[in-house]
Amino acid sequence: MAYQEMRVKTEAGKCFLCEDAPCSKACTCGLPVSDIIRSIRFENPLGAAKKLKGENVRCSFCPAPCMQACTRGKVADAIRIPELVHYAKGLKSGLKPLEDVDLSIDFCGVHFENPFLLSSSIIGSNAEMVEKAYSMGWAGVAVKTIGMFVPQEVSPRFSQLSKEENPFIGFKNIEQISDHPLEENLAFLRKIKKDYPEKVVIASIMGRNEEEWTVLAQRVEEAGADMVECNFSCPQMVGEGMGSDVGINPELVEEYTRAVRKGTSLPILAKMTPNITDMRVPARAAMRGGADGIAAINTIKSVMNIDLESFASSPSVAGKSSVGGYSGKAVKPIALRFISEMAADPSLAGVPISGMGGIETWRDAAEFMALGCGTVQVTTAVMQYGYRIIDDLIAGLTRYLSDSGILSAEGLVGKALPNILPAEDLDRQSILYPKFQLSECVGCGRCEVSCYDGGHQAIHMDPARRVPKLDANKCAGCHLCRLVCPVGAITNGPRVSTAAVKERSEATA
């Protein structure tokens, strides 16, 4: 089963995720092939199984016209679609009936039908885009930041970081706030609220002084916004005194939040910058200024991809670049760290947090919620894969809550916080040894290499059988071996007290 899961994840990860996919059109069984692959790709395999309506699936006896139609087949091997369908079919027997799950969230006094929002960025910059997202199931949008000025943008303004077969583990942008005039943006807010009154509109704003913050707050409330989000965090604004320049200055955060409160009675979110050591300091300042909640994190200041021929960084604007904002899956652990610190801070107890930073799948979203976020916001994943990822976000979270017995999104919020402790409070009196599943080992030796060159020299390959052997007297239980094993053949073994380990070591010395 472990091998099959590895092959399936690898295969689904190769899919181009085509729009109007030819593989689905070619399937003689009428299966939503592309949707099945996408669900597997986004960690929703049971959702993939659910898409197999009835039993009329004959992949074993089919000439696989879906593979012949596969777009990837034009440049490399086609996706092994029958194998993915067979895997999904094998999961159908394990599908439990869904319990009645409530995905709705009441956040800062505003009701959301589910926790999933578009975060303030290019993906929510006009009515056509937002209304498409609403129609597909997104509960709300923080619109692209509105100001009282129109910035001049550069071209190009995006870049990505790649690793091995993954072309997009990180993303950089040097884009600024909305490049539409204020009145046009206000008309946009009015339209989406009129057309979708049950959806949530969060107006992200950025002023250059107290007066602008106050006026912007007044104007977006008049236009029908449900909440105001203060952009104290954009790292690539042209000129001083805006974006993250504000977010690292608690006095300015408090002053500008107070100016926004002066202009509106709506709930206020203060969007925090990660370009700071302790986010709790400006978060407290925002609350003193009248904020109702916190949004975190915005993008991380970055320089990316130096071309070693031209020595230009990317995105290259006529051979030059600048510090920009880093986002994508790679920033998720950083976001979770900041969020867990704020959620556990007694002075911020009970403050609602809208989380973002590297969310691609329902599992990512659930982790943010478990660490204290009531809602979650997504940008980079939508830029890669489109609004359609909402299907698997909703289905995956619903399935998880049903199977776990939590049964509501509200019930998940904060569940993991008690398990984040100061380093000095962790158990340091025992060792969790790795366990080698030799029947699944392929003999690659990655565990030995990593243990010797990066660990404690506790693993040696049996030269005759090409399987690993553990020297328990040297093993420190770091589990580097488990992490590097490409086939998942190393799992958690027994946890043993360090006193018992010492006794055994002395006895065998």
- Rounded CA gap, 374 and 293, in Å? 10
| Side-chain-side CA neighbours of residue 366 (13 Å) | 22
Query: What element of type H or E holds 401?
Result: helix 390-404
In this predicted structure, what is the pLDDT of residue 416?
Answer: 97
pLDDT of residue 227: 98
Nearest to 389 by CA among 133, 207, 30, 157: 133
The confidence score (pLDDT) of residue 455 equals 94
In the numeric block, which tokens belong to residue 254? 């408090």
Residue 338: per-residue pLDDT: 98
pLDDT of residue 498: 87
**Please, what are the averages of pLDDT over each run of 10 residues along the chain (509 residues)?**
80 93 92 94 93 72 90 94 90 87 98 98 97 98 96 93 84 94 97 98 97 98 98 86 90 97 98 97 98 97 94 94 94 98 96 97 98 97 96 97 96 97 94 94 95 96 93 94 94 91 70
**ω into 315 cis (within 30 of 0):** yes
d(CA 348, CA 343): 7
Q: Contact at 8 Å (CB) between 377 and 295?
A: yes
Domain span(s) for CATH 3.20.20.70 in the chain: 105-151+176-302+329-419
Q: Reduce the DSSP state of residue 82 to 3 states and report it.
A: helix
- CATH number for the domain running over 2-94: 1.10.1060.10
**Tokens 């104007």 appear where?**
219
Domain 427-508 is found in CATH 3.30.70.2470: no
234 belongs to the catalytic site: yes
CATH topology (fold) of 105-151+176-302+329-419: TIM Barrel (3.20.20)
Catalytic residue among 23, 108, 234, 485: 234
This prediction has a pTM of 0.94
Give the residue from 44, 59, 69 showing the smallest Cα distance to 89: 59
d(CA 106, CA 9): 35
Q: Where in the chain is the domain with CATH 1.10.1060.10?
A: 2-94
Per the document, the length of the chain is 509
Per-residue model confidence (pLDDT) at position 421 = 95
For the chain, the average pLDDT equals 94
Looking up tokens 């690659």, which residue turns up?
444
The overall longest dimension of the chain from CA atoms, in Å, is 80
